[in-house]
Structure 1
Amino acid sequence: MASDTTNHPQLSKDLFGDDFAWGVSTAALQTEGSCDADGKGASIWDTFTQRTGKVLNGHKPDIACQFYDNYQRDIDLVKQLNIPNFRFSISWSRILPKGEGQVNQAGIDHYNRVIDYCFQQGIEPWLTIYHWDLPQALEDKGGWTNRDVVGHFKEFATICANSFGDRVTNWMVMNEPAVFTGAGYFLGIHAPGRKGLRNFLPAVHHAVLSIVAGAKVLRQLLPDAHIGTTFSCSHIEPYADKPRHIAAAKRADALINRLFIEPVLGLGYPTDELKALKGIYKYFEPGDEDNLSFDFDFIGLQNYTREIIKYSFFTPYLGASLVKAENRGVEITTMKWEVYPQSIYEILKKYNAYPQIRKIIITENGASFPDEVTGDAVHDKKRSDYIQANLQQILKAKQEGLKVSGYFVWTLTDNFEWAEGYHPRFGLIYIDFETQQRIIKGSGHWYANFLR
């Protein structure tokens, strides 16, 4: 089948260089299903999705994409799409059902089979240690607000390194901490559903300590590993060229784009721009300053859109609010995010300004549109165009000398999209969740042809 869009004549894989990493990203909770199989413990998302009204349409991740039982089928599709690198995460509660202590060997055996099958198919596995699925047993003890989580995460990272590090070279310690702390511990719209600054600030600090602790474990046990961690980021612009909107945009930028990367780079928390963050210091203990930063081999950036920010007297702590994309008359996705490819270029410029960052990889980028099956095909021209437009912006950045060394599409298959359930479809491959049938979308065919 032909792809649904015309390949831009100036856009070719060769222009990015031979050492540019091309891939696709997924996450355990979103794809695996089999939420209590083979000794797996409950995660916070298994619990959260049982609560009425928390997830769109009452959807649950119990079955998802059945990747746990049928991983070979989907890895075969990765190969069919000519994708050389496959990013996936390790479910903490499959390895440590209680989050600590007794190891579940069946979980380790499963991921060893997945890793081995990747290599068998000529695909390089990239492992994310933590992608938001904290064991419920640890949440019962305070989750990310409890400082003990740092030690438990270090234990989990150690088990992963010892179990998979003999074959896996590429590692990401943690996925998008700003999202799981902000949505899960401040706004309460993601698992575990906690709210307020008193939950958010300790969760942020303990997440940063855990990122560094996990990275140090990997460096010690796997000295030749390629170690990174990933951050969500959005290009921020003020609503108008007025001091109060400009100041509001700077505060939002501190929260969305700087809160995690700067301490990890040794620059501390951005408390000057965001005074409400100063409360984080009461969660410090002696020695924390030395355990907040790490020299990563690469930083993974995950960008989907830009945000327009205006001053808001009524928004506590931040004094800023989003001007919703659907109210701005711009093209939007089913997530109601603006389609704005220039954002990824601006983000690359922003993070290249940090001299401490050695290497940048785009570890997630993609779009959700209302896909429909026509016959035995899915013509998703908007997604193909979105990916190409973003690649144009990345190529522009690269040609200007900015650091960018890879691009991973989000995501392989349609999946469980957190609080949005199965409604948003981001995949290069369509899934009928009733039958689990797979259909490669036009965007998947385009990516396969591009990578060929």
Structure 2
Amino acid sequence: MIAQFPADFIFGAATASYQVEGAAAEDGRTPSIWDTFSHTPGKVFRGQTGDVACDHYHRYGEDIALMKQLGLDSYRFSLAWPRIKPDDGPVNAAGLAFYDKLVDELLAAGIDPAVTLYHWDLPQALEDKGGWRERDTAERFAEYAAVAAQHLGDRVKRWITLNEPFCSSILGYADGVHAPGAQEGEGALKAAHHLLLGHGLAAQRIRSAVPDAQVGITLNLASVQQVSDEPADVEAAHRSLLIGNLIFTDPVLAGKYPELGKEVWAPITDFSWIGDTDLATIAQPLDFLGVNYYFPSRPKAVAHNEPDSGKRVASDLGFESLIHDGEYLTEMGWPVDASAFTDLLIWLRDTYGDALPPIYITENGIACPDVVGDDGRVDDQDRIRYVGDHLTAVSAAMDKGVDVRGYFVWSLMDNFEWARGYQPRFGVVHVDYDTLKRTPKASFDWFRNVIATHEVS
């Protein structure tokens, strides 16, 4: 099967500030929650940190040359909030100056910058005041967004407010496996709400500063596959859809929270902290929706003992994701199912109809067992197969009427993979973490051909 994409379809690659920049204490940058978390023993694989990462802060010119060689239409990257406005104090001019240089060199190379304002690196100074549990953090985020938009908006037109608020709130404040490492009930739900409130406030500030801006949000969404007709598994599927999708898609796209959420989380909160006008603020009109997809959700009901309400975490919903015997798993332990990607995009279209804006696939990719050959190259056929199959799945959704405008592979280069450290490799460019040498993989050449021909065969 040949998947053909329109001539104006955007092909890009993505990274995130803490995962690639390094220079963690240079030019006025202060610690983020990920600096604190990664330096806490036992939180990250082998105690690894983003102190150096890929040293993109000093090597961005080399990296842009690779992007130009790849033929990218656009590069999606995030700004490090602690570089620009580390706390309630003044703006850090040196931090803005780095992004000035990065944006200018991207434009000189013919690559459109797509900026994400928040990819999880909350200033530690704000976490010390309660972090995303507090409404004030949403206000501080809007202030930071305004600074960034006023400074870069003459050159940057595509803005993403948040990346994956599910991970920031549920993995960070409920499961405790991401920064700041909290395991809470109401606190995690407050974090999710205040992230979305921050999105709405930031969207307003960006549009005020940059009237011709394209503004969106990126959500990592689940394609939920019901595993049986047993009542418990049917309910598990509903709860999986709730926590993975609906608590974010419903407020952003429909201006409401799902009724099931009020029932499921009634034991841990009364939701009295949601302001009367919050949902109207959250449901700002979007120019696009960013969708990140990696694997399907197959929720299987599991027996669990209900703890005291004060100890229950928000993610304790009585299911686990099923893995089929013998199926291929990525290095992250994730099952591969490209057809579920098509299903997810069609679900969005069917669920939200005219309220759904155009979609960009802002992340999609695979960590696989990359092996450096004797010739120094990585022949990553698993990655080529995965990306090819998932691009074909996007094309299938487009053939069925879903308005998808672009695709950003995750990632441009191997980088710090959060709590997994440097073990998983997602890049189409190999990074030697001892020397920081960059080497394009076989997937780099393959993706370059896809970009040039707008075709996957």
Please say whether Structure 1 and Structure 2 have the same fold, judged by a TM-score greater than 0.5.
Answer: yes
Q: Secondary structure of 2:294's partner?
A: coil
Q: Which stretch of the first structure deviates more once superposed, 106-115 or 216-225?
A: 216-225
Q: Secondary structure of 2:98's partner?
A: helix
Q: Any idea what the Cα deviations from partners look like across 1:238-279, whole Å, max 9, x if unmatched?
A: 222222101111111110011111111234112325623453
Amino acid at match of 2:321: V
Q: Distance between the aligned counterparts of 1:213 and 1:261, measured in 2?
A: 17
Q: CA RMSD in A?
A: 1.4
Partner of 1:214: 202
Partner of 2:338: 341
Q: Distance between the aligned counterparts of 1:222 and 1:288, measured in 2?
A: 23
Partner of 1:388: 388
Q: Which stretch of the first structure deviates more once superposed, 135-144 or 219-228?
A: 219-228
Partner of 1:323: 321
Which of 131, 142, 166 matches 2:130? 142
Q: Secondary structure of 1:272's partner?
A: helix
Asked if the contact 1:266–1:294 (Cα under 8 Å) also holds between the matched residues in 2, the reply is no
Asked if the contact 1:254–1:273 (Cα under 8 Å) also holds between the matched residues in 2, the reply is yes
* TM-superposed deviation, 1:22: 0.9
Q: Secondary structure of 2:22's partner?
A: coil
Asked if the contact 1:266–1:292 (Cα under 8 Å) also holds between the matched residues in 2, the reply is no
Alignment of 1:58-137 (within 5 A): 58-98=47-87, 100-137=88-125
User: Is residue 292 from structure 1 mapped to residue 292 from structure 2 by the alignment?
Assistant: no
Partner of 2:356: 357
Partner of 1:5: none
Q: Secondary structure of 1:413's partner?
A: coil
Partner of 1:379: 379
Q: Which runs of 5+ in 1 are unaligned?
A: 1-7
Q: Secondary structure of 2:398's partner?
A: helix
User: Is residue 227 from structure 1 mapped to residue 224 from structure 2 by the alignment?
Assistant: no
Partner of 1:3: none
Q: Secondary structure of 2:224's partner?
A: strand
* TM-superposed deviation, 1:165: 0.1
Q: Distance between the aligned counterparts of 2:13 and 2:294, measured in 1?
A: 15
Q: Secondary structure of 2:272's partner?
A: helix
In the superposition, the TM-score normalised over structure 2's length comes to 0.93
Which of 27, 38, 41 matches 1:52? 41
Q: Distance between the aligned counterparts of 1:280 and 1:111, measured in 2?
A: 42
Q: Any idea what the Cα deviations from partners look like across 1:280-302, whole Å, max 9, x if unmatched?
A: 62212343233221110000000
Asked if the contact 1:412–1:429 (Cα under 8 Å) also holds between the matched residues in 2, the reply is yes
Q: Distance between the aligned counterparts of 1:52 and 1:398, measured in 2?
A: 46
Q: Secondary structure of 2:24's partner?
A: coil
Partner of 1:418: 418
Q: Please list every run of at least 4 consecutive aligned residues from structure 1 whose deviation after the TM superposition is greater than 6 angstroms.
A: none
Q: Distance between the aligned counterparts of 1:286 and 1:296, measured in 2?
A: 21
Q: Any idea what the Cα deviations from partners look like across 1:3-54, whole Å, max 9, x if unmatched?
A: xxxxx6x13xxx2112211111110000000000011010000011111110
Q: Secondary structure of 2:75's partner?
A: strand
Which of 300, 304, 315 matches 1:310? 300
User: Is residue 182 from structure 1 mapped to residue 170 from structure 2 by the alignment?
Assistant: yes
Q: Which runs of 5+ in 2 are unaligned?
A: 307-313, 453-457
* TM-superposed deviation, 1:150: 1.3
State the number of aligned residues. Answer: 439
Asked if the contact 1:205–1:283 (Cα under 8 Å) also holds between the matched residues in 2, the reply is no
* TM-superposed deviation, 1:315: 6.7
Amino acid at match of 1:338: P
Q: Secondary structure of 1:101's partner?
A: coil
Amino acid at match of 1:171: W
Amino acid at match of 1:51: T
Asked if the contact 1:304–1:366 (Cα under 8 Å) also holds between the matched residues in 2, the reply is yes
Q: Secondary structure of 1:126's partner?
A: strand
Partner of 2:368: 369
In the superposition, the TM-score normalised over structure 1's length comes to 0.94
Alignment of 1:247-262 (within 5 A): 247-262=235-250
Return closer, same or farther for 1:52/1:74 CA change in 2, 3 Å cut-off.
same
Q: Secondary structure of 1:156's partner?
A: helix
Q: Secondary structure of 1:269's partner?
A: coil
Amino acid at match of 2:356: I
Q: Secondary structure of 2:23's partner?
A: coil
Q: Any idea what the Cα deviations from partners look like across 1:354-374, whole Å, max 9, x if unmatched?
A: 121121111100000010110
Q: Secondary structure of 1:236's partner?
A: coil
Return closer, same or farther for 1:146/1:224 CA change in 2, 3 Å cut-off.
same
* TM-superposed deviation, 1:450: 1.4
